[in-house]
Amino acid sequence: MANSSWLDYIWQLVFITFFIMIITGTNQRIQMKIWIYDIRSKLNVIRSYAESSRARIIDALRKLGAQDPEYSIAKYIDFFAISPVEIEPIDIIKRLDHILRTEERAIKSFFEKLLPNAGKYERSLLESSLEVAIVLNYLYKVIRHYILLGEKQNNWVLIMQLQLQMPEVMKVAATYYKALDAFMSAKPVGDSIGAIVAYRLIEESDVLSRKTVEDTAIVEARLDSRRVFIVKAEGPGSNVGKPGKVLSDLVEELSGNVDLVITVDAALKLEGEEDGEISEGVGAAIGDPGPEKIAIERAAAKYNIPLRALVVKMDLASALKPLKKELYEAAERAADYVKRLIVENTPENATVIVAGIGNTVGVTQ
Amino acid sequence: MNFDQNTLVMIAIVVVIVATVVKTLLDVYRRPKEPVTVVKTLLKCTKCDYIQEVDYQQGDFIGLLKGKCPKCSSTLKVRGIYAIELKK
């Protein structure tokens, strides 16, 4: 047999095999196995993040003298909050607020019982760390659910969708895992930018009085010949406070005699935008599920107070990881921007409220 | 071994396909390198313009009074805490 003849037979065989595979769908099954292998290897990484975060929290709890932290964390790692009924919108904000406060109280009380001798600061860091561990655990369980479901039902479309989403899922998982370091060691994160701006304004003004209401600091000060109330979460522990409720109560306390309300927060950037870009707008710059934001909007609308917003752009990873230098510099610029806004939009002796929104981890008042 | 023209063309096509698949797989599975970062604390004198960048220590927070100014002996205050990328 000539060389070319046996090679011709091999080619014929290869093409016939491919043809049969395409007709019978075997190629899809092979493709599905490759996808499953890849998803499972990534799922193992997410599991290692979830287990490692849980182990680090248990270790920290043990160092602070907690009794049987493994059992306590295992009990709370699947903690959940059920959203209120949405098809009946009446008093939905009240119901949502109630659920969020109940959730917050439950986690706080869990740590108070577990660590009776620890301070508020240490407990707040562990509360946020536990929230990170809950997210990682949930992410692991959801991905595991879909991969098992896809395999069970031989559903290659489900597996394919999961495979296509895995790079984004991995990015989110890695971001949360890195956020754990910031929360456990109380380093400011990107989301702390509103709190840093508020602190910078406090530092540069003549402070008249300070008080703390519902984990939220209110500082009354004189700044550029204006009476300025600066609102931020109480630091330097990990805390977002209740800026909406506190701001609303403050407006009522001042009988609506407020000339300007400014909210400052971190905002997710669009792809192509630079980290640290500052944008000005109107409305309440606050990324809560609803109750805090609506409280600010209602207070401003009730007394016809101009509501201005300033946001510093960043991606999710930058918002949760230790603050980058570029973002710290953006916070300095944002503080100057707020001062300019106050001077340009209000006369001397006006009353202004500035709320620095976000987690105040690593920032005092 | 002598191959005819058709066989050589087929071999070339197969080599190109295999090379393309290998490169695509390498691109997909190659993990981008994470930048190495180090966290710094920026200290500023409460009286003069002295500024110093030091390594972050556990317990530092913005607003913390920490140490003495080498220029005027006033108190230093933590002005900023931030992460910087180390050059590769």
**Domain total for chain B?**
2
Q: Are A178 and A321 in contact (CB under 8 A)?
A: yes
- The pLDDT of residue A312 is 96
In the predicted model, what is the mean pLDDT of residues A332-348? 95
Q: With a CB-CB cutoff of 8 Å, which residues 30-59 of chain B face chain A? A: 37, 39-40, 42, 56, 58-59
Q: Which residues of B touch A325 (CB under 8 A)?
A: 40, 82-84
Regarding whether B50 and B21 lie in a shared domain, the answer is no
B4 pLDDT above the threshold of 80: no
What is the rounded CA–CA span in Å between residue A247 and residue A138?
A: 34
- The pLDDT of residue A304 is 95
CB contact under 8 A, B63 and A11: no
Regarding whether B24 and B43 lie in a shared domain, the answer is no
Regarding whether B61 and B26 lie in a shared domain, the answer is no
ipTM: 0.84
- The pLDDT of residue B1 is 62
Rounded to a whole number of angstroms, the distance from the CA of A96 to the nearest CA of chain B is 33
Regarding whether B42 and B81 lie in a shared domain, the answer is yes
Q: Name, of A3-7, A31-35, A158-162, B67-71, the range with top average pLDDT.
A: A158-162
Q: Which residues of A touch B83 (CB under 8 A)?
A: 187, 321-325
A118-121 contacts: CB < 8 A, separation 24 or more? Answer: A118/A64, A118/A65, A120/A237, A121/A186, A121/A236, A121/A237
CB contact under 8 A, A3 and B3: yes
What 3-state DSSP class applies to B44? Answer: strand
Using alpha carbons only, what angle is made at residue B28 by residues B25 and B29, rounded to the nearest 5 degrees?
85
Cβ-nearest to B82 among A7, A235, A324: A324
Regarding whether B54 and B22 lie in a shared domain, the answer is no
Domain topology for A190-356: Rossmann fold (3.40.50)
- The pLDDT of residue A190 is 94
- The pLDDT of residue A225 is 93
Q: Are A172 and A139 in contact (CB under 8 A)?
A: yes
Rounded to a whole number of angstroms, the distance from the CA of A298 to the nearest CA of chain B is 32
Regarding whether B16 and B53 lie in a shared domain, the answer is no
In the predicted model, what is the mean pLDDT of residues A97-108? 92
Regarding whether B10 and B50 lie in a shared domain, the answer is no
Q: Which amino acid is residue A325, in one-letter code?
A: K
Cβ-nearest to B82 among A7, A199, A325: A325
In the predicted model, what is the mean pLDDT of residues A117-143? 92
Using alpha carbons only, what angle is made at residue A186 by residues B56 and A56, rounded to the nearest 5 degrees?
105
Mean pLDDT in chain B? 87
Q: Which of B23, B67, B61, B21 is nearest to B41 (CA)?
A: B61
Closest chain A residue by Cα to residue B2: A3
Sign of the CA dihedral with A187 first, then A190, A194, and A200 last: positive
CB contact under 8 A, A322 and B61: no
Q: Would you list the domain boundaries of chain A?
A: 26-185, 190-356
- The pLDDT of residue A4 is 62
What is the rounded CA–CA span in Å between residue A3 and residue B15?
A: 19
- The pLDDT of residue A117 is 85
Cβ-nearest to B62 among A11, A188, A327: A188
- The pLDDT of residue B10 is 82
Q: Which residues of B touch A196 (CB under 8 A)?
A: 62, 80
Using alpha carbons only, what angle is made at residue B36 by residues B35 and B42, rounded to the nearest 5 degrees?
115
CB contact under 8 A, B3 and A186: no
CB contact under 8 A, B84 and A186: no
Regarding whether B41 and B21 lie in a shared domain, the answer is no
Q: Which residues of B touch A3 (CB under 8 A)?
A: 1-3
Q: Are B57 and B48 in contact (CB under 8 A)?
A: no
Regarding whether B50 and B22 lie in a shared domain, the answer is no
A75 pLDDT above the threshold of 90: no
**In sequence order, which ranges of chain B are alpha helices (DSSP H)?**
5-29
- The pLDDT of residue B88 is 58
Integer-rounded Cα Rg, in Å, for chain B is 30
Closest chain B residue by Cα to residue A170: B31
Regarding whether B26 and B41 lie in a shared domain, the answer is no
Give the pLDDT band of residue A327 (cuts 50, 70, 90). very high
CB contact under 8 A, A3 and B37: no
Strands, sheet with A307-314, edge to edge from the N-terminal-most edge strand: A206-213, A216-223, A226-233, A351-356, A260-268, A307-314, A278-282
Q: Which residues of B touch A187 (CB under 8 A)?
A: 39, 56, 81, 83
Give the pLDDT band of residue A348 (cuts 50, 70, 90). very high
B77 pLDDT above the threshold of 60: yes
- The pLDDT of residue A83 is 92
CB contact under 8 A, B81 and A199: no
- The pLDDT of residue A235 is 80
Rounded to a whole number of angstroms, the distance from the CA of B30 to the nearest CA of chain A is 12
Give the pLDDT band of residue B63 (cuts 50, 70, 90). very high
What domain range includes position B64? 37-85
What is the rounded CA–CA span in Å between residue A231 and residue A145?
A: 43
Provide the percentage of residues in chain A whose pLDDT is more than 70: 99
- The pLDDT of residue A343 is 95
- The pLDDT of residue B54 is 94
Q: Which residues of B touch A327 (CB under 8 A)?
A: 82
Regarding whether B25 and B47 lie in a shared domain, the answer is no
Dump pLDDT digits (tens) for A146-178.
Answer: 999 999 998 989 999 999 999 999 999 999 999
Using alpha carbons only, what angle is made at residue A259 by residues A253 and A260, rounded to the nearest 5 degrees?
100
Dump pLDDT digits (tens) for A267-277.
Answer: 999 999 999 99
Is the model more confident about B26 or about A232?
A232
Give the pLDDT band of residue A2 (cuts 50, 70, 90). low
Q: Give the global pTM.
A: 0.87
Q: Is B5 on the interface with A (CB under 8 A)?
A: no
Rounded to a whole number of angstroms, the distance from the CA of A325 to the nearest CA of chain B is 5
Regarding whether B42 and B7 lie in a shared domain, the answer is no
Q: Which residues of B touch A203 (CB under 8 A)?
A: 63
